[in-house]
Each structure stands twice: as structure tokens, then as C-alpha cells.
């Protein structure tokens, strides 16, 4: 009897999603603090462990950040990469807070939809 063989993805878009928490699209105005800079930002996507943020100026790759998102809360993290005018951050949310943060994100996405 033949064994089931899983083929590798043919493109990056076919790769399975490895995220532990669902990424929520939104348009939430917040604040980001890094290297002595405190500026307004727009959170375009966020999960309990990461976020995609628009801000000026952009923090440097690897920089530590503090993010304050209304209706969601406060999180610490660091910059992992830049995409055009956006910054992608990995959040260091405590495991005990992740489910609660994910629930708050879903509610905030209804209040601040991405197309608003």
C-alpha cells in the first residue's frame, strides 16, 4: 500500500501558515516608542505575537519598541524587518496574556476595520 507523501510547497504563497495566533487586519491608531522617540502610528495587522505598523520615523531593525494600542493594550517587542513604509515587529507577550490579547484584537478589528 503506498504511503502518503507530502509534497513541498511550490511557492512561498503555498507554504502552510506557521503562526500560533491569527493575524487580525485593522486600522488602529496607537503610539510606538523606540530609542527615545514617541510617535503616533497606525497598526495595520496584529496578532498576539506580532504586528505590522506604519509610523514615521521608522525604528531601526532589531530596535526594542513599546506599542500602545487603544482597546487592545500595551506590548513590548522588537523590530524584525521593514516592508516598504511599514515596520514588522515581534511582540514579547507573556504566554498567559496571549489568548486575552487575541480576543481583544478581534473586538478592536470590528471597531477599527481596515477599510475605515
- CATH code at position 69: 2.40.10.220
What's the confidence (pLDDT) of residue 4? 44
pLDDT, tens digit (0-9, with 9 covering 90-100), for 48-70? 899 999 999 999 999 999 999 99
In a domain, 69, yes or no: yes
* Domains of the chain: total: 1
Question: Range of 50's domain?
Answer: 21-111
* Alpha-carbon dihedral 49, 97, 27, 20, rounded to 10 degrees: 40
To the nearest whole number, what is the mean pLDDT of the chain?
Answer: 84
Angstrom distance (rounded) from CA 78 to CA 102: 19
Can you give the length of the chain in residues?
Answer: 116
In a domain, 6, yes or no: no
What's the confidence (pLDDT) of residue 1? 42
What's the confidence (pLDDT) of residue 105? 87
Name the stretches of the chain with pLDDT < 50.
1-8, 10-12, 14-17
Location of C-alpha cell 488602529: 28
What's the confidence (pLDDT) of residue 69? 94
Amino acid at each position: 500500500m503506498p504511503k502518503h507523501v507530502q509534497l513541498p510547497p511550490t511557492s512561498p504563497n503555498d507554504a502552510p501558515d506557521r503562526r500560533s495566533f491569527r493575524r487580525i487586519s485593522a486600522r488602529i491608531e496607537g503610539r510606538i516608542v523606540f530609542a527615545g522617540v514617541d510617535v503616533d502610528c497606525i497598526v495595520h495587522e496584529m496578532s498576539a505575537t506580532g504586528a505590522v505598523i506604519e509610523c514615521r520615523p521608522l525604528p531601526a531593525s532589531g530596535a526594542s519598541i513599546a506599542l500602545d494600542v487603544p482597546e487592545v493594550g500595551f506590548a513590548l517587542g522588537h523590530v524584525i524587518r521593514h516592508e516598504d513604509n511599514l515596520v514588522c515587529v515581534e511582540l514579547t507577550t507573556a504566554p498567559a496574556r496571549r489568548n486575552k490579547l487575541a480576543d481583544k484584537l478581534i473586538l478592536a478589528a470590528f471597531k477599527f476595520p481596515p477599510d475605515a
